[in-house]
Amino acid sequence: MDRPYLHAILNLYPSAQPDNMRISKAIAQSANAFLQWLHEKTFSQSFAVSTAALVFLAIVLSTEVLLHFHEREAISERRAASLAFASQLRARVDRELNAVLYLSSGLSSYLVVRHQQLNQREMRDILATLHGNSRHIRNFSVAIGHKVAYVHPLVGNEKIVGIDYREITAQWPAIKLAIESAKGTLTGPVQLLQGGTAFIYRTPILVNGQYWGLLSTVIDSHSFFDAAFREIDSERYEFAIRSGNASSAETNAIWGDMALFSDSTATRLEVEVPNGKWFFAVRPRQASGTSMLVWIIRIMGWLLALLSSVGVGALLRQRSELARHAGFDSLTNLPNRRLFDDRLDQAIRRHTRNENQQIGILFIDLDDFKEINDRYGHKVGDITLRTTALRIHDEVRISDTVARWGGDEFVVIIEEADADLMNQLTERLRQHVGKPFEAEGKIIEIAASFGSALYPGDASTLASLLELADQRMYTEKQRHKDVLP
């Protein structure tokens, strides 16, 4: 819509006129074109549906705004309390996690220093000592390369001794991430080979910048969360935890109902963990109730919105149908000859106020359209007419009128026209209309004949204008027939 208006403004009047006069006339012409377009839209089915929808939405939104305005402060207070609870959870998780990680950090440093002098007894004693001083560690395991060489405690963990991590399909991606990133990585909950689930903190051992082995600290999830969430006010709040890392979009459920993360009212918080994140979602268990009066007002508001939108929509659709039957062609949705006459009369009246401009009439007739109907059937013929109508409409300005004159004939009213503009438009239409298209699985090619005339340059009356343009069209059509074999 903007392009035709700009075109009209730039081309309406000669540059010899004063700037303020040219601008005023350009604005007036653009306003006329816009009002004509708006007038047509008010009679369309889409306008009826859109208006009904707007009425419905306006009433519903007004109702909801009035109902929820007084709840904003309460919602803010609940969110602040949920955020405080989530921060408390994060602090407790950080406390318990740090208690575990510092042991792994010390052990990994020992392995870097002693990697060439390791022996079974020394490793057994060190692992036993660290395990005895820990709160949540289920077991330690040390892999040299990718094969597990040391495990403590051994009882209950015999299955993992000597195993190659690359053979554990379910765990290998997380192990590979820790090795390739050269960072300690917390994963889980993990299904252990020796049974049960736990978190695993894997620390790659780097010697002189090269991978030497992997320290795995298996954390008892039940012990960990029992300590972290002891004395938490779980009666007032429900919460869930899931994990994720920067290298993957996947998340793993850790604690609680994962549906909380889909609840827009839940408060969310992130916690940085080694080479990843934990996400918390917190929601009060008991939100403030909605009173019966609020529900009554809401239902009445929605019913009023529904009844009003249905009534407005029905009225406008009836008006649209009446207008369409009176002024538009049912096949192409273009103005029919009756509406064309009205548009042309309006254009002539505008011309009387600005006699420096001309009005162009362009007739378009499809060549050999009857053969398409006879060969492919009337359904393909109808598609051809609709396609042609759309292509013509695409090439003209919004201020111009495209109408179906009858049968396979169309006519265009072009205001502010001249001979050059008419020739350019004719050539554009000739190219665009003649492009092949598909209809019912068949490739259709069609040509058209054109005839144009200008008022008052070529004809001084409407009757002679239409007759001249029509005559020129049929003259071209005859030339087309003469050149055919």
- Region 88-111: mean pLDDT is 85
- pLDDT bracket for residue 316 (50, 70, 90): confident
Say if residue 106's pLDDT is above 70.
Answer: yes
User: Of all helices (H) and strands (E), which one includes residue 206?
Assistant: strand 197-207
Say if residue 16's pLDDT is above 50.
Answer: no
And the tokens for 82? Answer: 């949920």
- Region 230-243: mean pLDDT is 84
Q: Which residue has the higher pLDDT, 27 or 239?
A: 239
- Residue 415, C-beta contacts closer than 8 angstroms, at least 6 positions apart: 29, 347, 350, 351, 357, 359, 360, 399, 400
Q: Are residues 199 and 338 in the same domain?
A: no
Q: Are residues 266 and 334 in the same domain?
A: no
- Residue 320, C-beta contacts closer than 8 angstroms, at least 6 positions apart: 43, 44, 45, 47, 48
Residue 336 lies in a domain: yes
From 86-95, 97-106, 242-251, 274-283, the region with the lowest mean pLDDT: 242-251
Using alpha carbons only, what angle is made at residue 256 by residues 283 and 157, rounded to the nearest 5 degrees?
155
pLDDT tens, position by position, 41-70: 555 666 777 777 888 888 888 888 887 776
Please give the residue range of the domain that contains residue 191.
Answer: 77-284
Question: Could you give the CA distance from residue 24 to residue 292 in angstroms, rounded to a whole number?
Answer: 59
Q: Which residue has the higher pLDDT, 69 or 253?
A: 253
Residue 121 is predicted with a pLDDT of: 84
Residue 253 lies in a domain: yes
- Residue 168, C-beta contacts closer than 8 angstroms, at least 6 positions apart: 175, 193
pLDDT tens, position by position, 166-181: 888 888 888 888 888 8
% of residues, the chain, pLDDT over 90: 22
- pLDDT bracket for residue 454 (50, 70, 90): very high
Question: Could you give the CA distance from residue 155 to residue 138 in angstroms, rounded to a whole number?
Answer: 11
| Region label for 407, one of left (φ > 0), alpha (ψ between -120 and 50) or beta (otherwise) | left
Question: Could you give the CA distance from residue 364 to residue 11 in angstroms, rounded to a whole number?
Answer: 25
Q: Which residue has the higher pLDDT, 70 or 98?
A: 98
Residue 110 is predicted with a pLDDT of: 84
Q: Domain with 334 in it: what CATH number?
A: 3.30.70.270
From 143-157, 412-426, 431-445, the region with the lowest mean pLDDT: 143-157
Q: Does a cis peptide bond (omega within 30 degrees of 0) precede residue 456?
A: yes
Residue 473 is predicted with a pLDDT of: 93
Q: Are residues 107 and 249 in the same domain?
A: yes
Q: Are residues 255 and 339 in the same domain?
A: no
Question: Could you give the CA distance from residue 221 to residue 200 in angstroms, rounded to a whole number?
Answer: 10
% of residues, the chain, pLDDT over 70: 86
Residue 8 is predicted with a pLDDT of: 46
Residue 437 is predicted with a pLDDT of: 93
And the tokens for 419? Answer: 């001979």
Question: Could you give the CA distance from residue 384 to residue 436 in angstroms, rounded to a whole number?
Answer: 10
Domain boundary among 263, 284, 305: 284
CB atoms within 10 A of CB 354: 14
Q: Are residues 125 and 263 in the same domain?
A: yes
Residue 448 is predicted with a pLDDT of: 94
Q: Are residues 273 and 347 in the same domain?
A: no
- Residue 85, C-beta contacts closer than 8 angstroms, at least 6 positions apart: 233, 236, 237, 239, 267, 282
Whether 89 contacts 229, CB under 8 Å:
yes
Whether 188 contacts 199, CB under 8 Å:
yes
- Residue 103, C-beta contacts closer than 8 angstroms, at least 6 positions apart: 130, 133, 134, 137, 217
Residue 14 is predicted with a pLDDT of: 44
Whether 271 contacts 261, CB under 8 Å:
no
Residue 53 lies in a domain: no
> What pTM was computed for the model?
0.46
Q: Are residues 220 and 351 in the same domain?
A: no
From 174-188, 240-254, 293-307, 400-414, the region with the lowest mean pLDDT: 240-254
Question: Could you give the CA distance from residue 161 to residue 148 in angstroms, rounded to a whole number?
Answer: 6
Mean pLDDT of the residues in the chain: 82
Question: Could you give the CA distance from residue 430 to residue 447 in angstroms, rounded to a whole number?
Answer: 8
User: What Cα–Cα distance (Å) separates residue 158 from each residue in 144, 161, 179?
Assistant: 17, 6, 24
Q: Which residue has the higher pLDDT, 371 or 233?
A: 371
- Region 337-352: mean pLDDT is 88
Helices (H), 115-199: 120-132, 172-181
- Region 470-484: mean pLDDT is 85
- Region 410-438: mean pLDDT is 93
Residue 29 lies in a domain: no
Whether 372 contacts 446, CB under 8 Å:
yes
Say if residue 354's pLDDT is above 60.
Answer: yes
Q: Which residue has the higher pLDDT, 71 or 168?
A: 168
Q: How many domains does the chain have?
A: 2
CB atoms within 10 A of CB 7: 14
The one-letter code for the residue type at 194 is Q
And the tokens for 426? Answer: 């004719």
Q: Are residues 242 and 338 in the same domain?
A: no
Q: Are residues 333 and 271 in the same domain?
A: no
- Region 340-349: mean pLDDT is 90
Question: Could you give the CA distance from residue 359 to residue 400 in angstroms, rounded to a whole number?
Answer: 10
Among 95-99, 335-339, 348-352, the range with the most confident prediction by mean pLDDT is 335-339
Q: Are residues 357 and 275 in the same domain?
A: no
Q: Domain with 144 in it: what CATH number?
A: 3.30.450.350
E strand intervals along 246-372: 248-255, 267-273, 276-284, 358-366
Reduced to 3 states, what is the DSSP secondary structure of residue 465? helix
Residue 60 lies in a domain: no
Residue 303 lies in a domain: no
Q: Are residues 111 and 243 in the same domain?
A: yes
And the tokens for 310? Answer: 């249905």
Q: Are residues 383 and 271 in the same domain?
A: no
